[in-house]
A = this chain, B = another copy of it.
Amino acid sequence: MEAIVSSFPVYFDYQVQFTHGLFTKENFLLAEVIQQSIARPSKLLFVVEQEVADSHPMLPTAINDYCQYHGLRQCGPVLFIAGGEAIKNDSRQLQQIYQAINEHSICRHSYIVAVGGGALLDMVGFAAATAHRGIRLIRVPTTVLAQADSGVGVKNAINYFNKKNFLGCFAPPYAVLNDFDFLSSLNLRDWRAGMAEAVKVALIKDAEFFYYLQQQAQALSQRDLPSMQHLIQRCAALHVAHISGNGDPFEFGSSRPLDFGHWAAHKLEHLTTHRLRHGEAVAIGLALDSTYSYLAGYLAQSDWQQILTTLQDLGFALYAPELSQQLENLDHPLNIFHGLREFQEHLGGELTIMLLEKIGQGKEVHAVDIAVFQQAIALLREQSCKQVPEILSN
């Protein structure tokens, strides 16, 4: 019998904007992003991370005043939600968002404005993507990591069965508004941790950007804001260009270049029960996969050394003891290499791991040699004994 074939493109577009003082009255950015109709003003629901509100006590008032001044229809009071990865494990936070959407009749043409770090944006994004099959989401990332990386992409997720991002969907935001002023209230540890994804994307895509990071490493690590603004803009641009330009924004295939260093990072976050920040775990993952790339003969020694030095200059540790636990016992759930299997399972399809050929140029492989990885871990452990891992003492 004759089959019906359905084939169609869906067009997505969104903008990532950079600003200061997003909620000051004279800043028209948010007001301009909202599609207003005079007959039926769009509704806005604001969700703000509690820690951000604590650091910026005038923020809720500023939001109210901003909406009033620009004629935006704010629904209900600002909703405060805790931040951090733990909220992605707890469905009550998600339900609180659904509740507000229902209570204020937030529809598919209304806006949810989420202000916070990556975990909050992930969780609110999942609520927005699944209520009424998708409400417009405006992300206002407040951390280096979220402004440069996680907040500018097309993913959202919560954790389930104790597995990171087990539930989620691909749903591009309506807009991302990066306000650099939020960075002033970050503690040093979060300031630094966010830079790991910039090193990652530089290593696989942009040698020039890597050399910028190398040269500015001390300044960046010491909270130089202009350097950080450049880091965020370049990292976000590379991330977004990858999504738009790689032909597989919703990851139907197996290739995942942006996950360079991430198989070990995800497992390390879990093994350290989040003692390590995501960025700190990524930095160790980058060190590990770069070292493997060197030992496997893909990467020149000088490139490898520059990578490790730059990571250290940015304030990152290159090693955590959890890398070595049960190292010979491959079947043990606390063995780091379990992360390879979990990584493959989450992504599906063939194992595909990004390694490095040179600075600025990745190389995908479909098989790895565990013995060489064990050697890489030994090298990093040795190296770490020579240096106090400053970032972990914060």
**Which residues does A use to contact B, with CB under 8 Å?**
1-19, 37, 40, 98, 102, 105, 107-110, 129-135, 152, 155, 157, 160-161, 163, 165-172, 233, 236-237, 240, 243-245, 249-251, 254, 344-350
Q: Closest chain B residue to A351 by CB distance?
A: B40
Closest 8 CB pairs of A and B: A108-B348, A107-B348, A109-B348, A7-B13, A9-B9, A1-B18, A109-B349, A4-B16
Contacting residues, chain B, for A19 (C-beta < 8 A): 1
Q: Whole-angstrom distance between the alpha carbons of A236 and B133 in the complex?
A: 22
A166 to B348 Cα, complex, angstroms: 29
**Copies of this protein, total:** 2
Tell me the complex Cα distance, A133–B8, Å.
20
Q: Which B-chain residue is minimally distant from A1 (CB atoms)?
A: B18
Is the Cβ of A347 less than 8 Å from the Cβ of B6?
Answer: no
Q: Are B11 and A7 in contact (CB under 8 A)?
A: yes
Mostly, the A contact residues are: mixed
Please name all residues of chain B whose beta carbon is closer than 8 Å to the beta carbon of A345 when the two chains form the complex.
105, 107
A76 to chain B, nearest CB (A): 15
Q: What B residues does A243 contact at CB under 8 A?
A: 6, 8
Q: Which residues of B contact A98 (CB under 8 A)?
A: 160-161, 166-167
* The one of B13, B135, B157, B348 that contacts A8, using a Cβ cutoff of 8 Å: B13
Nearest B residue to A154, CB-CB: B6
A12 CA to B8 CA, complexed, in Å: 6
Please give me the residue from chain B that is nearest to A13 by CB atom: B7
Extra contacts besides A10-B12, A132-B168, A133-B251 (12): CB < 8 Å: A3-B18, A4-B15, A5-B13, A5-B16, A6-B12, A6-B244, A40-B350, A98-B160, A98-B166, A107-B345, A107-B346, A130-B169
